Structure 1
Amino acid sequence: MEALFQDIQYLKGIGPKRSRQFKRLGVDNIFDLFWYVPRAYFNRGHPDPIKSLKPGEAAAVRATVKGTHASRSRRGLHIFKALMEDDTGLITAVWFNQPFLDQLINPGQELFVSGKVKTAQGLMELNVSEYEILDAGSQQVDVLPVYALTEGLSQKTIRGVILYILNQYLHHYPDILSPELKQKYDLCDIGFAFYNLHFPQDGPAYLRARKRLALEELLLFQYSLIQEQKKQQSDSYVVHQPQSNLLERIQEQLPFVLTSAQTRVLAEIYEDMGASRQMNRLLQGDVGSGKTVVAALSMARAVASGYQAAIMAPTEILVEQHYQSLRKIFQDQGVEVARLTRSTSAGERRSILEALLSGEINILAGTHSIIQDEVEFKCLGLAVIDEQHRFGVKQRALLSYKGYAPDLLVMTATPIPRTLALTLYGDLSLSIIDQMPPGRKKVDTRFVPNRNADRVYRFIARKVREEAVQAYIVCPLVEESEKQDLLAAITLYEGLKEGMFSHLEVGLIHGRLKAWEKEQIMQRFKAGEIKVLVSTTVIEVGVDVPAASIMVVMHAERFGLSQLHQLRGRVGRGKKQSYCFLLGDPHTEDGCKRLMIMENTQDGFRLAQEDLLLRGAGEFWGVKQHGLNQLKVADLLKDLKLLELSRILIQEIGQAEWMNSYIGKKFKKDKDIVNN
């Protein structure tokens, strides 16, 4: 297998210069070349006759160049045109911003081109997306791979190199599946798979190849997670054995009855907490399903057992809410609750650190400040992480190192399919709250074009006047244009305050405010003094104001489905009918589709699946999660059945000695993954 890891520059016909070009594509060695997956394919076996082409349709044409012409648009865009002819007619092929084609494409050449057919000044044109100059040196196959390129490398060069290594090095590539397993699960050989991924014989051969290589990736992905889990496993653990009736007292005073789903999940957590091993559990539940009270009761069990508990949340607003909720739950129970954030004063911070170390503080709520080295607990028994997707593996590990291997409970309101959750968080047991508290009404969700915004504002004014409700108006805050978006929020706030809502108390909250300012505004909103709160997405997660029953999201097309669902989850927490208005003017098909799905669906699991399909796994989580970005063939959502099969196969395959090297080459560590 070592032959696969030799530097690409030593391959026949490459050398140092071309090697540098390949390395810009992330290809360092022969192994990387095998996994350099085509982004598309040319099927030259069945070209479309020019006479049959219709505007608006995709087409592939094989024809001879009759003449060429280069020009520039008014904006300076280079336009290259080639008049092409086959046995049935003529069409003009058009390329944009590729000036080198002047020297490359000439009359008399035979070309294979594909793209979209359009009409210009009454004549049909083919806007070219892919092309191939056919000559004696062209690969003699019907289906050709199309690869991502970089300056200095052509399709012909990459195809030639790939074809060379397939013929010369494929026998070095190990097949990790035995003949028996391949027969049992109807899987092809690894050699057949790579050959037909790059140069498919036909459609069925490509599908068999893709299935095998997607499974190969998912298997290696699972192995890499197992390796990480072994590194983080601890022989230490905490056993929670309640020494008081604190848990019973807390549960008795709750103003509601737990749902059967909450009761089931708590039983799973309590069993883990009482076991002679460290708990690592993922608690997954839709917005408003009652994860917070489950966390509070788990912390009560830890305190009753003589240990401390901590909860880490991504924003100061959410920490403040947890702090106030926990204080209310543990009121008059002899339990000391504190909070620690970046905004905590130096004096208060010293007092908290001393009280933590002495054991005077039983429960600590905080942002990532609590994983700093100087924060020490006397006996931390349970660590809770809220909104798991906002923190990386590293932060989770740092919190679990506090104390003597405390139990770990991580919570997320971002629902994902069970198999996918078990893969992404393979080191965590999974609990799902799949039931909403009784009596919670659906939020009436409507898409409203920007031009009708005044209708929404009049609706809010009437509801505030007649029913004493409150409303959020959320403006997007996108990193690339943070200043402009912040300005937009301030402008909207001032416009509404002076105009449509001049008779109402209007507030403004955003991330640039100091912690005490944000806290003061949220307290006034909770108290009902502020009737309309203009906000950036700092209120996205966890904020609970039962009287707030109207949510307006500005530029809603700029948000993903899961984020829109989180925002919608801020209302619908009281007894009154709640509304969510999605204002925007989507200019893309995906943008329109997202808003239509939001109108018709309240189910967070379905929304999360749709979001994964629309945006892809990497963008869905917003980070390079565990090497997700390095999956070349597999699609975590579309290949769920293969994901399940990979989990089965792991139990049937012994890990060979060379596997660690194999995994290291397949999922290369980079700073984004390591720091995640």
Structure 2
Amino acid sequence: MDNLKEIILRIARPVEYATRSGTHGLSALKDLGRFVSQQVVTALGHSVHHPSVEADLLHLVHLFSDYETLGPDLRGRRIAEAKVVLNRLLRSVEESATSSSRPAKPAHRLWELPIQYVRGVGPKKAEVLARADIHTVEDAVWSLPWRYEDRTQVRSIGSLIPGQEAVVAVEIRSVKLAVTAHQRRKLVEATVADKTGSLSLVWFNQAYLAETFQAGQHLMLYGLVKARSGRWTHLQMENPAFEILEGGEEVGRHHDLVHMGRIVPIYHGRETKTRMMPSDRIRAIMKGLVDQYADGAVDALPAEIVRGRRLMAFGEAIKAVHFPAAKANLEDLNRGRTPAHRRFAFEDFFLLELALGQKREAVQREARSLAYDQETLLPRRFLDSLSFRLTEAQFRVLQDIRRDLASPHPMNRLIQGDVGCGKTVVATVAMLMAVGSGLQAALMAPTEILAEQHYLNLHGLLEPLGVSCVLLVGGRGKKREGALAAIADGSAGIVIGTHALIQQRVRFHKLGLAVIDEQHKFGVLQRATLKEKGYAPDVLVMTATPIPRTLALTVYGDLDLSVIDAMPPGRTPIRSLLFAEGQRARAYRLIEDELAQGRQAYVVFPLVEESEKVDLQAAITGAERLQREAFAKWTVGLIHGRMKAEQKDRAMADFKAGRIQVLVATTVIEVGIDVSNATVMLIEHADRFGLAQLHQLRGRVGRGAHQSYCFLMGPHRLSEEARRRLEALVKSHDGFVIAEEDLHIRGPGEFFGTRQWGPSDLRVANLIRDAKILEEAREEATRLLQRDPSLARPEHAELKAALLRRWRAKLDLAGVS
């Protein structure tokens, strides 16, 4: 501050001279604009100042920017205005010096403060909060209210109307504990009154309140007003929220109320072993915690970003988001659109983007240890053997892969493309580049059935080229031992399996490329697991889950992105139709028409873990009924996840060979099954599937030259959300359009719910609502990492600590500590 004071006095000298010397002084000053500008740049460059101080300094620059071009009158006015600004600046500096001489506010490092020792918590409540991942004060302040209620308007009893929720300030007239005659339930009954009338209260199963309340006490209540015994003149509230007013009835004097007379935060209740810890108990804990620690809470964000993006200070944001001012906009609060919410969302995204940037940087720093022969002929021989030509989009992605394999760093690329766009062919060419360079390639699928499908497809195509493929899935026996031996001695060029490929007993001879199919089914590939085993492969991830382009950078931020945005020629769009239960016979007739022309059909039943037994039985019974009734002339087969591998193999082989015409399946066929003669799919209980999942399933037909169909069977009465989902599928064939709609319907938590980590791990930010904030956070993170890639500067110490606390475990950020 001393430096700033010196600079202000330096600027004040010529201004004072001009004021004292009249017209001569005004014209005698030369280069005043440049002088003031230099002094202000020095002041701003030296340290961070309060926004009002910075605004005044910049205003001085503006006042003198064209000083030499002005006439005497305007110069005089500018000098007078500059004096006012300079006096204001000097006052600010002196006030700041006075306040800085006072004892400094304590700096609260919230992550170091166990929640157990916060007032009102203790060991038992700390156990309950720990089950919600709240271990420290920092965890608590990031657990935001899920909604807010306006309890600022205090009503009189005489103005109450049944059916409305209201706040009243009352005095207790009587209170008693009663027991119901029927079920012997305990209830507390009270009569309360104000100057305009009386009100009956009843609390069920809270007998302790009979001891809490006493006649003459003053309360504030919030609850739903009901007509007692159907009589509008006798009003009642059941189980109202309450707060006891200490020291009398003057409501206006009670500024420290927690549950009444303010906009009240509503927190999710927390389950204890025997009952719920209600929202009001959590609110009381949060009030004490916010009052004690918000002022002085250590802010992880750099000051220049807080200023530049006009963000609230962290401590102010904590107070405003947990206990908003009475004048705060209730709608904005409930939609998470206040400046305080913005501050939390920004930090949430900013830390994620820094983590992803560092992850990307770590991969780019990693030196390539494997050399590829760019001249190998295997990829060309494979492409020549195909009966079709690759699309331009596929060739473009192959160019990306060739560039990656020639670069000095390992490849870490995501291929994104709609169902049936030809990702597997591109991945096969990449694997052949590895094999042609004397390396091995691994293709990891999310399920055994899909791994087997890949093996069946690739084995026949690659064996004629002299490339050996092996399949490694669960189980034991000689076949598995043989596969393990071939992987270890290098005779297996391409290894196909599930994530079991990176387990303990599997040893590769020289792993060059790891291809992961459907990453969202896997969770994050643990590069660290591969590294621990001594591999540093190039990594290619394929996903047919179309993520809107705006979000792909965040979801897969540590991967380079390629998109296959064109379908192979000759594909006819699938016609999708929605049927209600009463139209089932018509749907069966349409399927029979296809079967009569020699085509095949899928009938898909939903299967979810919560109701797995019931769902499985429905699929088994459904297959039996279809064989007996609707499709008695044809052979109906069944495939589900609980079948043994050999049974599944047999069913799939029979379906591919045309021996089974109708295949009843649970969602095991969701990804990757490829039977070009299958032209029709009937999805039972379509309302129980997510939109992206329905799109994946639909992609199992339409893989040949014939017109294909997808029939969605739902109940007569659909929920609004289910109708939106199914109509979106009927209207569109574009996976990206469908993904956008799915995100809007379900929100990001569920959309990405099948991934082990993902934006559902964001604590406050919402990928849809806060898309603009995400862009801002990404820009700032990129800019900061360019200046300080490892966050080693002293001013970034708190930021780095926050980053590691937040993302180290989930994103394997060991390399940045």
Q: Same fold (TM over 0.5)?
A: yes
Contact 2:311 2:343 in 1 (8 A): yes
Aligned to 1:662: 802
Residue segments in structure 1 that go unaligned for 5+ positions in a row: none
Cα distance in 2 between the residues matched to 1:224 and 1:496: 53
Structure 1 counterpart of 2:257, one-letter code: S
Is 1:304 aligned to 2:436, yes or no?
yes
Match of 2:268? 148
Q: Is the 8 A contact 1:442 1:578 kept in 2?
A: yes
1:454-473 equivalences under 5 Å are 454-465=585-596, 467-473=597-603
* Higher mean C-alpha deviation, range 211-220 or range 412-421: 412-421
Superposed, 1:175-190 pairs within 5 Å as 175-190=299-314
Within the alignment, does 1:32 sit opposite 2:130 as a pair? no
Determine which of 167, 170, 174 is the counterpart of 1:62: 167
Deviations 1:363-410 (A, max 9, x none): 111122322232222222111010111112255543566664121101
- Aligned residue identity for 2:135: D
Q: Provide closer, same or farther for how the CA distance between residues 480 and 168 of structure 1 changes in structure 2, counting only shifts above 3 A.
A: closer
Task: Report deviation, 1:284.
Answer: 0.9
**CA deviation after TM superposition for structure 1 residue 10, in Å:** 3.1
Contact 2:185–2:205 (CA<8 Å) still a contact in 1? no
Structure 2 residue 116 is matched with structure 1 residue 9: yes
- Give the Cα separation in 1 of the matches to 2:656 and 2:181: 58
CA 480–70 in structure 1, closer or farther in 2 if over 3 Å, else same: farther
Using structure 1 for the length normalisation, give the TM-score: 0.86
Q: CA deviation at 1:497?
A: 0.7
2:396 corresponds to: 264
Residues 618-661 of structure 1 show CA distances to partners (whole Å, capped at 9, x for unaligned) of 43333563364543321123222222222211134453233444
Deviation at 1:486, TM superposition (A): 1.4
Q: 2:575 maps to what in 1?
A: 444
Q: Which amino acid aligns with 2:152?
A: G
Q: Which residue pairs with 2:652 in the alignment? A: 522
Residues 240 and 153 of structure 1, relative CA distance in 2, 3 Å threshold: same
User: What number of residue pairs does the alignment pair up?
Assistant: 667
Query: Are 2:680 and 1:550 equivalent residues in the alignment?
Result: yes
Q: Structure 2: how far apart are the matches of 1:660 and 1:499?
A: 66
CA distance in 2, matches of 1:485, 1:438: 38
**What is the 5 A alignment of 1:427-442?**
427-442=558-573
Counterparts in 2 of 1:134 and 1:673: CA distance versus 1, 3 Å: farther
Please state how far the C-alpha of 1:149 moved relative to its aligned partner: 2.8
Q: Deviations over 1:254-305 (max 9, x none)?
A: 2222222111111111110111211011111111111111111111222222
CA RMSD of aligned residues (A): 4.0
**Alpha-carbon shift at residue 552 of structure 1 (Å):** 1.1
Distance 1:91 1:40, change over 3 A: farther
Q: Distance in 2 between matches of 1:120 and 1:574?
A: 69
Q: Cα gap change, 1:222/1:99 in structure 2, threshold over 3 Å: closer, same or farther?
A: same
For residues 320 and 407 of structure 2, the distance between their equivalents in structure 1, rounded to whole angstroms, comes to 50
CA distance in 2, matches of 1:118, 1:390: 54
Matched, 1:244 2:384: no
Q: Could you tell me how far apart the structure 1 residues matched to 2:227 and 2:436 are?
A: 72
1:423-481 alpha-carbon deviations (Å, 9 max, x no partner): 2322211111122223322222222223332322222123211x222110011111122
State, as a whole percentage, how many aligned pairs show the same letter: 40
Give 1:92 deviation, angstroms: 10
The answer to whether the 8 Å contact 2:571/2:702 transfers is yes
Distance (Å, rounded) in 2 between the aligned partners of 1:305 and 1:392: 30
Q: CA deviation at 1:321?
A: 1.8
Q: Bigger CA drift: 163-172 or 192-201?
A: 163-172
CA gap 1:456/1:80 in 2 versus in 1, 3 angstroms: farther
The equivalent of 2:257 in structure 1 is: 138
1:54-76, Cα deviation, whole Å (9 max, x unpaired): 98xxx642347899999999999
Among 189, 197, 203, which residue is 2:321 paired with?
Answer: 197
Deviation at 1:569, TM superposition (A): 0.7
For the residues of structure 2 that align with 1:468 and 1:85, how far apart are their CA atoms?
Answer: 81
Higher mean C-alpha displacement, 121-130 vs 432-441: 121-130
Which has the larger share of helix? 2
**Within the alignment, does 1:626 sit opposite 2:757 as a pair?**
yes
One-letter amino acid matched to 1:662: A
Change (3 A) 1:514 1:126: farther
For residue 658 of structure 1, give the secondary structure of its aligned residue in structure 2: helix
When normalised by structure 2's length, the TM-score is 0.72
The 5 A counterparts of 1:237-386 are 237-343=369-475, 346-386=477-517
Could you say which structure has the larger radius of gyration?
2
Hey, what's the Cα distance between the residues in 2 that align with 1:473 and 1:76?
54
Question: Per-residue displacement from partner, 1:540-574 (whole Å, max 9, x unpaired)?
Answer: 10001111111111122221111111111111112
Gaps of at least 5 residues in structure 2 are 1-106, 247-255
Q: Aligned in 2, Cα 1:328/1:522: closer, same or farther, shift over 3 Å?
A: same
Q: Kindly tell me: are residues 477 and 182 of structure 1, through their superposed partners in 2, closer, same or farther at Cα, counting changes over 3 Å?
A: same
1:500-523 Cα deviation digits (max 9, x unpaired): 111111111112222122112111
1:646 counterpart SS class? helix
1:480 aligns with 2:480: no
Partner of 1:640: 771
CA distance in structure 1 between the partners assigned to 2:146 and 2:671 by the alignment: 37
Task: Please identify, of 175-184 and 299-308, the stretch whose mean Cα deviation from structure 2 is larger.
Answer: 175-184
Greater displacement, 125-134 / 226-235: 125-134
Instruction: Decide whether the 8 Å contact of 2:807 with 2:813 is kept in 1.
Output: no
